[in-house]
Amino acid sequence: MSTTLSVNTESPSSLDADAVVVGYHSGGDAPEPASGAHTVDAAFTGGLGSTLSLLGASGAPEEVHTIASLGAVKAPVVVAVGLGPAPADGPVDSDVLSRAAGAALRSLSARPEGAGRVVLALPATTADQAGAVALGAELGSYSFDRYRTGEKAEKKAARSAETTLTVVSEAAGAADAVERAAVLAEAVSLTRDLVNTAPADLVPEDLASAAQEIAQQADLEIEVLDEHALSEGGYGGLTGVGQGSANPPRLVRLAYSHPEATKKVAFVGKGITFDSGGLSLKPAGSMDWMKSDMSGAASVLAAMRAISTLGLKVNAVGYLTVAENMPSGTAQRPSDVLSIYGGKTVEVLNTDAEGRLVMADGLVRAHEDEPDLIVDIATLTGAQLVALGTRVFAVMSNDDSVRDEIVAAAGAEGEASWPMPLPAELRAGLNSSVADIANVAGERWGGMLSAGIFLQEFIEEGTKWAHLDVAGPSFNQGGPHGYTPKGGTGAGTRTLVRIAEEYARKA
Ligand code: BES
Ligand code: MN
Ligand code: ZN
């Protein structure tokens, strides 16, 4: 990402900029200026709020109105964004601010002249709020233009490189919070870029190369196992899923360590670069967005980079389980039996339940690092979408307090998640007549949970583990909203970084 972010304490009405963003609350007769908006509001005859009211504004969340300032303030354009009702007490919610800043920047970035130099005069009386504004603004100005051609596209790329974001805040610690936000936004953008890349341009080898490059830049230790090393090492999940593709599988291990760290976290991400379903082929309508099936691996890679950039006082390892799931004469067959790393056997009754196979290899391997916690992240099941929709990811764990900690960490980071159970009785549904376990249950109910139960089979007693199913939230097939664009969203990336931060604090 090429935007630059800074903090300023000057009055937003006198700052030299192309646009100034202010917030308005709903609830009154006219939109009420929020904290930070008063000098800009007062610069307009009768107050900008009454003009906004004439234009039909209410101050509802993410409502965006762009107004020419005609000299009332120094910036030629004022963007008024809705923040919803003013909270009765306490500061405006950070996530409301991120989404408002995101909506404003999406709108400004869509102009022919681009966003330019933007001043964000949204409520930022705390460092947390300043960070939230910066994060939302940066994520809202994201665009993926790799495949666009022509003069228009070139101009757009040049303009977006010129975007500068200035957060107005007098809060102590605002500069640090904005700096952290920039690192997180870069991580989320990396995840989005990898997800949005066409699957022919991001086959397993490409994802492994991307990891190599990032490891070098971010000073991470890296190990890549190719298809030969995988089959020799007994990684039957990756080998079995990858064998139908002309593009062989990879397992990537990244490691970050801090000399004063006392805790270690391990992340395992599902990296199916394209999921056709294999011989259990998906219908066309379910397949066209399966380039996003490597979201989990992308999040792990991006989070590892952010952890290193932030210099967290924690040890972290990240595994990317990377394969392409394709049907062919060499593909695994429904009823084939494979042996996961460590030796457990799986009867593959449905080749479209491939994520759990590659993840099993990664989870078993992650135990060798002896981490205090393993967190896996995967676009694992369509059932996740049935249960929680497109914006809320699921958190399952073999430890209720870990599960609740992660849901809380996600919430504090502005990511929506919900705790889900791992009912023991679902294990019987995965009994195989020939192997240790089958990869799908006979019954379709609770598909997200039985996938979690399958993964749990590969976790040792006494090892703390959580599983994030991000199938829905990782890819936005609908319209953009808040700071979330169409396509790859980066969901879960910030939560992983937050978990590492919390384990750094436990040190
Ligand atoms: N990658 C899919 C899950 C998925 C679905 C992710 C929709 C994102 C959006 C996964 O590999 C899959 O195909 N799961 C199957 C499992 C089934 C065969 C038990 C599913 O959910 O249909
Ligand atoms: Mn699948
Ligand atoms: Zn999949």
CATH number of the domain encompassing residue 372: 3.40.630.10
Same domain, 195 and 168: no
Residue nearest to atom 13 of ligand 1 (CA): 352
Positive or negative CA dihedral for 355, 274, 194, 390?
A: negative
CA distance linking residue 293 with residue 456, whole number of Å: 21
Sign for the pseudo-dihedral over CA of 52, 3, 157, 159: positive
In whole angstroms, give the CA distance from residue 373 to residue 123.
Answer: 36
Which atom of ligand 1 is the closest one to the Cα of 272? Answer: 1
What is the C-alpha to C-alpha distance for residues 270 and 316, in angstroms, rounded to an integer?
A: 17
The count of domains in the chain is 2
Between CA 284 and CA 501 the distance in angstroms is 41
Ligand 3 centre to CA of 208 (Å) is 18
Q: Which of 74, 111, 117, 282 is catalytic?
A: 282
Same domain, 236 and 316: yes
Does 120 contact ligand 1 (Cβ within 6 A)? no
Q: Could you say which of 270, 356, 403, 498 is catalytic? A: 356
**461 belongs to a structural domain:** yes
Same structural domain, 213 and 124: no
Q: Is 282 a catalytic residue?
A: yes
Question: Considering only CA atoms, which of 307, 272, 357 is closest in space to residue 500?
Answer: 307
Same domain, 164 and 194: no
Local confidence pLDDT in tens for the 507 residues of the chain: 568 899 999 999 999 999 999 999 999 999 999 999 999 999 999 999 999 999 999 999 989 999 999 999 999 999 999 999 999 998 999 999 999 999 999 999 999 889 999 999 999 999 999 999 999 999 999 999 999 999 888 888 888 888 999 999 999 999 999 999 999 999 999 999 999 999 999 999 999 999 999 999 999 999 999 999 999 999 999 999 999 999 999 999 999 999 999 999 999 999 999 999 999 999 999 999 999 999 999 999 999 999 999 999 999 999 999 999 999 999 999 999 999 999 999 999 999 999 999 999 999 999 999 999 999 999 999 999 999 999 999 999 999 999 999 999 999 999 999 999 999 999 999 999 999 999 999 988 999 999 999 999 999 999 999 999 999 999 999 999 999 999 999 999 999 999 999 999 996
- Of the CA atoms within 13 Å of residue 52, those in its CB half-sphere come to 31
Ligand 1 atom, smallest distance to 280 CA: 18
Residue 358 Cα, ligand 3 centroid: separation in angstroms? 10
Of the three residues 111, 141, 172, the one that is the final residue of a domain is 172
Whether residues 331 and 404 fall in one domain:
yes
Write the residue with the smallest CA distance to atom 16 of ligand 1. 353
* Distance separating alpha carbons of residues 306 and 465, to the nearest angstrom: 22
What's the rounded Cα separation, in Å, for the pair 234 and 460? 18
Same domain, 302 and 163: no
Q: Are 168 and 201 part of one and the same domain? A: no
The first and second tokens of residue 273, run together, are 């670069």
Q: Strand, helix or coil at 25?
A: strand
Evaluate whether residue 451 is within a structural domain.
Answer: yes
C-beta 41 within 6 A of ligand 1:
no
Where residue 98 sits, what CATH number does that domain have?
A: 3.40.220.10
Q: Which DSSP symbol is given to 283? A: P
Q: Is 185 domain-assigned?
A: no
Domain that holds residue 29: 4-172
Judge if the beta carbon of residue 195 lies within 6 A of ligand 1: no
Residues 140 and 208 in one domain: no
Q: Are residues 87 and 157 in the same domain?
A: yes
- On whether both 217 and 112 belong to a single domain, the answer is no
Q: Could you tell me which of 5, 107, 124, 182 has the C-alpha nearest to residue 481?
A: 107
Task: Please say which residue of 141, 172, 203 terminates a domain.
Answer: 172
Look at residues 146, 172, 198 and tell me which one is the last residue of a structural domain: 172
Of residues 234, 210, 367, 231, the one with CA closest to residue 300: 210
Pair (382, 459) in one structural domain: yes
Catalytic residue at 356?
yes
Domain contains 183: no
Instruction: Please answer whether residues 470 and 296 qualify as being in contact, where contact means their C-beta atoms are separated by less than 8 angstroms.
Output: yes
Enumerate the H helices of 143-225 as residue ranges: 151-160, 174-196, 204-218
If you measure from the C-alpha of residue 380 to the centroid of ligand 1, how many angstroms do you get, rounded to a whole number?
A: 6
Residue 258 domain-assigned? Answer: yes
- Note whether residue 184 is domain-resident: no
Q: How far is the CA of 387 from the centre of ligand 2 (A)?
A: 17
d(CA 482, ligand 1 centre) in Å: 27
Query: Could you tell me if the CB of 355 is within 6 A of ligand 1?
Result: yes
CA-444 nearest atom, ligand 1:
19
Neighbours of 343 (CB within 10 A): 10
Q: Whose CA is nearest to atom 3 of ligand 1?
A: 381
Report yes or no on 179 lying in a domain.
no
Which atom number of ligand 1 is nearest to the Cα of residue 440? 19
Is residue 161 one of the residues assigned to a domain? yes
Ligand nearest to the CA of 286: 1
The set of residues, in sequence order, having a beta carbon less than 8 Å from that of 136 and lying 6+ positions away, is: 97, 98, 99, 100, 101, 102, 105, 482, 483
DSSP state string for 26-64 = ESSSSPEEPTT-HHHHHTSTT-HHHHHHHTT----TT-E
Q: 350 in ligand 1 pocket by Cβ < 6 Å?
A: yes
Together in a domain, 146 and 249: no
pLDDT score at 238: 99
CA angle 138, 288, 142 (to 5 degrees): 10
8 Å CB contact between 466 and 397: yes
